Structure 1
Amino acid sequence: MVRTQEQEFRTLPQDTGMPSGGVIVCIIFGVLLFIGLVAGLIIYRRRQAHHHRARPCQKHSGYNRDEIWLKPYVDLQPYEDPSRGVLEFTKELDPSLVNIENVIGEGEFGEVYRGTLCFPGKERIVVAIKTLKSSYSDSTWWNFLREATIMGQFNHQNIVRLEGVVTKRSPMMIITEYMDNGALDTFLRENMDKFSAVQLVTMLQGIASGMTYLSDRNYVHRDLAARNILVSHCLLCKVSDFGLSRILENDVEGTYETKGGKIPIRWTAPEAIAHRIFTSASDVWSFGIVMWEVLSYGDKPYGDMTNQEVMKSIEDGYRLPPPVDCPSVLYELMKVCWSYDRTRRPRFREIHAQLDHFISSPHLLRTVADFDPRVTLRLPSCSGSDGIPYRSIPEWLESIRMKRYILNFRTAGLNTMESVLELSAEDLKQMGVTLPGHQKRILCSIQGFKE
C-alpha cells in the first residue's frame, strides 16, 4: 500500500522553481512580437512625419502603394453603346445642380467654364465645366464620353478629380474640380524666378506621382506637357487632359500603336514619332521635357526650331541644354529620360523616388549644371558673320534662353552681334543683368564665339 502511494507521488513533476520549456518559448515569442510592433510603429510614424514635412499642402502625397493592385483601366471600346460605359464609371448629375459662370478657356470639345456645383445639404464647391459643342459629330461625341470614363476610373491626389457628367441633356458637360492657378506653363511664366529649387522639385514630384499611378495601371498619357498639368492654390500639381490617352494592351511590350493623327512633336519620344508606338517609356521622355519646362519657367522647348528641325536634331543626338540655374542632378535626370533607347529610361516609380530624395536632401540641388556654349538652341536658318552663328542679338539670346534681356541690350545701344564680343561681367551688371548664373551663361556663350 505504501509502495503504491510512493509511486503515485513520484510521478508528479519535481518543483525546481523554474518555468517549463513551453512557457519559456511563449515568453520569448511574446517579447519579440512586442519589440517588432514597437519598431514598426516608430518607423511608420517617422515616415508619416517626413511625408507631411515634404508636402505640407497635401493630406496624402505620392502614389498609394496599396492602390497598384487595383484592376487596370477599362477602355470604352468593348461597349457597343458608349453611354453604358459612362454610366458605369461616372456619376450623372442633374443639370440644376450645376451653375455655369464665366468662360476660362477653349477645350478640345468646346468652351470651358468656371462654375459651381451644389448637392442638396452640402456646401457649394467651385468646379471647372467642359462643354460639348451643339454641332458635334459622332466621333467628337465618342471622344467626349471617352474622356469622362477615363477620369471616372482614376482616384489619386495628383490626377484631376471628376465630379460628374451631364450626358442626358444639352449641353453635355464634364464637371471636374477647379484648379485655382490654371495650367502649369502659364503659371510659371507669370511667376518667373519666384520659387526655390525644392518647390520646383516638389511640383515635379507631384506629376511623377500621378504618372506612377497611371503607368501602374498599364495606361499611357501620350500628351504629357506642362500645358496639361493644372496647379492648385497650394502648388499641388495634377495631371489632366486625357484627350490623347490610350490604354496599353496586355502584350509583352505594353504598347499602343496609333493609326495616324497629330502628335505633339516637341514632347514626344523618337520611337513614337517614327513608328507611332507609345509606351510608358515614351511618357517618361515627355516627363523629361516637362522637367525642362518647369526649370525654365514655362519656356518653349527647342525655341523657334521647326518640328522638322526638332526631329532631325534628336535623331542626330541633340538634346535640350540645361535651363538657367538648373541643378545638375535634375539635368542628369532629364538626360536619362531622353535616352534614345527606351529600355534605358527610368520608370516613373524610380523617378518619383529620386525626386523625393532630392527634396529630403536639398544640398544636392545646389550645384548648377554647366552650360556648354556649343550646345545651344541653334537656329539652322541663321548665319552670322565672323564665325558667329546668329544674325541678331535677339536670336542669340533666344538660343541661350536669355531672351528676357533683349530690352536691356537694346537700351544699352547694342544692336549687332559684333558689339557684344567685348562685354564683361561689370558691363552686364550695369545693363541690369545682375544674377551671377545669367551673367555666366551670357559670357560663356560670348567666349564660345571667340574660340
Structure 2
Amino acid sequence: MSNIEADNPSYSLFINSKELTFNDDGELPISVSSRCRQFSIRRAILRRRRTSTTTTSSSSSTRPSMTMSNQGETVEVAVKNVHQFTGEEIKKLVSLEHTNIVRFIGAIKEDVVNAIVMEFVTGGNLYEYIARNREQKKCIGLRLCLNLTLQCARGLEYLHGKNIIHKNVQSYNCLLSSTTNILNCNLKLSNFGFKKQHPHAIDLTTFHESRKAWQAPEVIGNKEFFRKASDVYSIGIIVWEILTCQRPWNGKTDHEIYETVVKRSEHLKIEDEWPSELQKLLKDCWKTERAQRPIISAICCRVEVEKEYQNTPIDLDRPLQMREIPTIASHLKPKSHWKEFAVNNLGICESECDALKKEGTDDQDQLICDALRKWLMREGKNGTVGTLAEHLKHSRLFDVSGYKFLCGLQQP
C-alpha cells in the first residue's frame, strides 16, 4: 500500500471516479456513477499519477509524500459510501497515520456520489475470523487473544489521543491484514469518522447483527450519546468474543439486550478459568458508571504487561543473593505499591511494614528494598529468582520492567 499524503498541496484530497476500476465477483469493471450507491464498500484499483517520493516533516513524524506526473501508480483500495462530508473532515481522516488504523487516501464527491477511499485490507474482519473458529470448534489461544486485544487498544488509544471517538467499536470493524499468518498480522480499526452512511448504502459486511450487542449501556439507552468510555466498554466485548468464540448476547433481540444491560445492569459471563487480570479488565471495562472505567492508555499498559507475563516461562531455581536485592528493588515501579506487595504477596504483616517506616526512612526505594530483604531472610534457600518472579506475576502491582529484569537475571 502506497502512502498517498494529504499534506502535499499538489496532491488532491479528492479522487476522480475515472481513476478507479471496480471488479465485482469477476464482472467487467463498472463505473462509480452507475452502481456505487448500491454498495457500502467495494474493492477497486486506483490509478494515480506521480513522479517521485519526497520527504515532508510533521509534528509527529517524517513521512513520504507523493507528487503528480505522467508516471502511473496502482493501488488496491476499498471505496465506502458515506453521507455528505466537508474537505476538513476528509483532511482530518487522511492525516491519521497509525499501524492499527485503516489508512484513508481521499474522497469522491461527484453528483450524488459521496464516498471515501481507503487502503484495502486483505484478511477480512475479526468477526469473520472468530466465526470460522466457532464453526470449526476451535478456540483462539491466549497469546493471540492478547495480541489482537493490544492492537485494537493501541488503535483506539491513537484515535482518543486525536480526540476522535470511534462510536462503532465491534469485531466487524477490526480488519486483519492476513488470515494465514494470524499471529503476525496487523489489526486495523475501520468504519469511523462519519456519523451516518449514505441513505442507499448497506451494512459494511454481509452480516446483519445488532450493533447493540457491542454498545455501552449509556449508548443503548441514547444512541446519540457517545463518550471515550463508551468505546472502552465495547473493547471489552471484543475481548470476550475472542476468548469465547461466541456471538455477544447471541439469540437476544435489541429489546432484550436493552432490558439486560440497561435495566438490570448485567454483563456477559466472565469465566473463572480465564487469567485473573483479564477477568478484572473485563469487569472494569463494563462498569455501569462511565467514570469508573479505565482510560484506553491504561488498558494498553495492562494488556501489554499481561502479554509479557504469559510469554515469559518461569523456571528459575537459582537462589537469590542478598546483594542482588537493591538492584531488583530499583526496577520495581511504581514504588508506592511497596506495602501492598509486601503484605499481600511477600507475607510480611502490616505491623512489620509500619516498623520499617519507623526505623527512619520515607524513601520508597529503601522501603521496598528492606521488605525484600526481610522476605529473603525468612525464605532462605527457598527465596529463588522464580519464586519472586511468581510473586510479581500474581501481584500485578508493578509494571512489567521489574519482572523482565528478574527473569533475565544472570548468576552473580
TM-score by length of structure 1 reads 0.50
1:129 pairs with 2:79: yes
Any conservation in 1 of the 2:13–2:91 contact (CA below 8 Å)? Answer: no
How well do the aligned residues superpose, as a CA RMSD in angstroms?
Answer: 3.6
TM-fit CA distance, 1:289: 1.0
TM-fit CA distance, 1:103: 5.9
1:236 pairs with 2:186: yes
Rate the CA distance shift 1:149–1:295 in 2: closer, same or farther, 3 A: farther
Match of 1:112 among 41, 58, 75: 41
Structure 2 CA distance for aligned equivalents of residues 146 and 188 of structure 1: 36
The answer for the alignment partner of 2:266 in structure 1 is: 318
Structure 2 CA distance for aligned equivalents of residues 107 and 350 of structure 1: 41
Q: Which amino acid aligns with 1:338?
A: W
Rate the CA distance shift 1:151–1:116 in 2: closer, same or farther, 3 A: same
The answer for the alignment partner of 1:98 in structure 2 is: 20
Any conservation in 1 of the 2:93–2:193 contact (CA below 8 Å)? Answer: no
The answer for the alignment partner of 1:289 in structure 2 is: 237
Aligned length: 254
Structure 1 CA distance for aligned equivalents of residues 309 and 75 of structure 2: 38
Any conservation in 2 of the 1:103–1:113 contact (CA below 8 Å)? Answer: no
Any conservation in 2 of the 1:328–1:365 contact (CA below 8 Å)? Answer: no
The answer for the alignment partner of 1:271 in structure 2 is: 218
TM-fit CA distance, 1:208: 0.5
Q: Percent identity?
A: 24
Q: Secondary structure at the match of 1:361?
A: helix
1:355 pairs with 2:303: yes
Q: Which amino acid aligns with 1:309?
A: E
Rate the CA distance shift 1:227–1:355 in 2: closer, same or farther, 3 A: same
User: What CA deviation, in whole Å up to 9, does each residue of 1:251-280 have, x standing for no partner?
Assistant: xxxxxxxxxxxx932222222333543210
When Rg is computed on C-alpha atoms for both structures, the one with the higher figure is 1
The answer for the alignment partner of 1:177 in structure 2 is: 119
User: What CA deviation, in whole Å up to 9, does each residue of 1:181-208 have, x standing for no partner?
Assistant: 1121012212343643112211111110
The answer for the alignment partner of 1:201 in structure 2 is: 146
TM-fit CA distance, 1:145: 7.5
Structure 2 CA distance for aligned equivalents of residues 131 and 171 of structure 1: 8
Q: Which amino acid aligns with 1:201?
A: L
The answer for the alignment partner of 1:187 in structure 2 is: 129
The answer for the alignment partner of 1:433 in structure 2 is: none
The answer for the alignment partner of 1:83 in structure 2 is: none
Any conservation in 2 of the 1:91–1:163 contact (CA below 8 Å)? Answer: yes
**Structure 2 matches for 1:204-219, cutoff 5 A?**
204-219=149-164
Structure 1 CA distance for aligned equivalents of residues 98 and 168 of structure 2: 19
Match of 1:307 among 254, 259, 266: 254
Rate the CA distance shift 1:317–1:113 in 2: closer, same or farther, 3 A: closer
**Structure 2 matches for 1:6-405, cutoff 5 A?**
91-102=13-24, 110-120=39-49, 121=71, 123-131=73-81, 140=83, 142=84, 148=90, 151-168=93-110, 171-192=113-134, 193=138, 195-233=140-178, 234-242=184-192, 245=195, 264-275=211-222, 276-297=224-245, 299-314=246-261, 315-322=263-270, 326-362=274-310
Any conservation in 1 of the 2:37–2:81 contact (CA below 8 Å)? Answer: no
Q: Secondary structure at the match of 1:346?
A: coil
Any conservation in 2 of the 1:90–1:165 contact (CA below 8 Å)? Answer: no
Q: Which amino acid aligns with 2:108?
A: V
Q: Secondary structure at the match of 1:278?
A: coil
Can you give the 5+ residue segments of structure 1 that lack an aligned partner in the other structure?
1-86, 133-139, 247-262, 367-451
User: What CA deviation, in whole Å up to 9, does each residue of 1:138-160 have, x standing for no partner?
Assistant: xx3x1598874553242211111
Any conservation in 2 of the 1:183–1:227 contact (CA below 8 Å)? Answer: yes
Structure 2 CA distance for aligned equivalents of residues 266 and 296 of structure 1: 15
Structure 2 CA distance for aligned equivalents of residues 324 and 182 of structure 1: 31
TM-fit CA distance, 1:319: 1.6
Any conservation in 1 of the 2:221–2:258 contact (CA below 8 Å)? Answer: no
